[in-house]
Amino acid sequence: MSGACCTSCSSGGLTIASSSDPSTADRTVVISGALSATPSAGAQVVLWREKAGQSSFHQLATSTTGSSGAYAFTLKRGTVMADQAFYVASGTLRSGTLEQEVRALVGLSSSARTITAGQAVSLTGHVAPSHAGERVLIEQRRAGTWHVIARPRLSKGSSYSMSHRFAHSGKSELRAVLPLDARNVASASSAVTLIVKP
């Protein structure tokens, strides 16, 4: 993808903006903007998209401007799963290019929340969209800093499962991280807290 803009872009009287950038996979994203050229009401606006890994834009949807020249496209859940770029066109006008970054959905679950030091606990999770074959980082927070304690590989189903033993007692905060790649920006799960008893 090329021609990056930030959360909003303006070019030649036609603007484009995203409701959330970066957004999260499988969440609704609204692409909106306005046409300032005359006449601005009732004009057709075409949304073009280039997905990560593609080398050209493809028409995605069409809309019509309202009385003030504004337009909006609501991209439903499942439409924006990975990084992509958008622009809109109306007649001879074209907006700037909007680079939409997308966080993957990263899960982390523990087989127990309270364990004894030295006891094995099972850590599992799933990543969407699929990043099969890649590794996720299991990180533990110590002294305010995240440290990698394991690097499980995602299965064909984009899931992982591993066992880990905590040698020291106390509260242990964990998270799973999918590093930045060609499809998604760096993404992290919600933190999971374990209580490790002596």
Q: What is the mean pLDDT of residues 16-24?
A: 96
In sequence order, what are the beta bridge partners of 71? Answer: 33
Q: Which pLDDT score, from 0 to 100, does residue 78 have?
A: 95
Average pLDDT over the chain, rounded to an integer: 93
State pTM to two decimals: 0.86
Q: What is the mean pLDDT of residues 49-73?
A: 95
Q: What is the mean pLDDT of residues 76-97?
A: 96
Beta strands in 76-197 (DSSP E): 84-90, 93-94, 98-100, 102-103, 105-106, 109-110, 114-116, 120-128, 137-142, 145-150, 159-165, 170-178, 187-188, 192-197
Domains recognised in the chain with CATH numbers: 8-103 (2.60.40.10), 105-197 (2.60.40.10)
